[in-house]
Structure formats: C-alpha cells, structure tokens
Chains A and B, each alone.
Chain A
Amino acid sequence: AQSVTQLDSQVPVFEEAPVELRCNYSSSVSVYLFWYVQYPNQGLQLLLKYLSGSTLVKGINGFEAEFNKSQTSFHLRKPSVHISDTAEYFCAVSDGSGFGNEKLTFGTGTRLTIIP
C-alpha cells in the first residue's frame, strides 16, 4: 500500500519570498509522483509530475520539485511567491501498475497563504 505525508498543514509566506512544501511518501514499489493545486471552490490542477529521468522536475507557474528516492521525498519549491499562489497544494502518488490508469493516493494537503 502507498501513503503520502504532507508535513505542514499550513504555510504562511511573505510575498516574493521562497517557499518549500514538504511531501514524503511510502511505497513498496516504484512510484510516480504528482503535485496538484486547488484554488478555492475549484477542482485540482496538475502542477508537475515525476515519472522517471531527471529528479528535478519543473512545472507550471514557476514551481519545481525534486524527487529524492533515498529520503522518499518529493518537496515542492518556488523561489518567489505571488499573491495568486494562495491555494491548497496536494502531493499524490501512483504505483504505475495500471498502464496510465492508476489511482492516485493523495496527502492531506498544505494550505499556502501568501502575506502581502
């Protein structure tokens, strides 16, 4: 079974400061990793994904994440945040066994609040 732990439920950050949202996972098999963002009253939007290859993954809106197999982590980072980044961020994992149709297992989310 897989699981995802998002260590911080809330992260307040000043505008234009850097941010890191932490995600750790557990799985007995190789995994695919994702970060999704959820704006108020909206569905989830994919920020970035790691399937294989380079451990540094770049996504939309200036976000990036680094896959660390030894630490089973996939932390999300942005060098300079904007007010519009205020949202809920979810880390998710799939096991790659369904040929692209795998279910996603989500963490409990991190609420990122940008302070003007």
Chain B
Amino acid sequence: SQQGEEDPQALSIQEGENATMNCSYKTSINNLQWYRQNSGRGLVHLILIRSNEREKHSGRLRVTLDTSKKSSSLLITASRAADTASYFCATADGGYQKVTFGIGTKLQVIP
C-alpha cells in the first residue's frame, strides 16, 4: 500500500515560475525523502529531511516537513524546462532502507 500521496498528480507551469508539490502520509516516520524521475529513467534522490527537522534547502529546492499534519512539501524555485519530470516522496517508518513511495506528481515546465 502507498504511504505517501502526492498532490497535485499533475502540474504545468511556465519556465521561471515556482512549483510546489505536496505529500501526505499516514504513519509516523523517521525521515522523508524526495526523488525525481525523468521519462524512461530510474529515480534520482533529491533530498532527505529527518522527522526532527522542519525545513531543508538544496540549491533551488526547499523541503518542509510538518509531522503534526503528516505532510511535506517540495518547492522548486525559478523552474527550468529541465525540471520536467515526476517527483515522488518516500517515507521510512522503521529501518531506513525500507521506504515506501507515493504515486508521484508529474511536473511539466513549459519553456
């Protein structure tokens, strides 16, 4: 069963705009990760946020985590056409290695 559920399922924006994707989960977690998947490729790890962290930055990425609401958001600032991909959240509720992925948000950035 899916632990994380991303919202929206699809998002289309103009290049230069910001993109925000949300993830909700059901059980308590140790950490939450975000991955990107380009069409026809495997997933690539973007960022990990621990359950005791509220916000984390990496380049144009900003991730927030609200454990009281069991939700996380991924913000991509100043989007580029190359950001076009599907984005997945993944949660680890026990041992780190066993993570559960959401359905994903398909982001299209229009040049």
A-B interaction: no
Show the binding face of A for B, using Cβ within 8 Å.
none
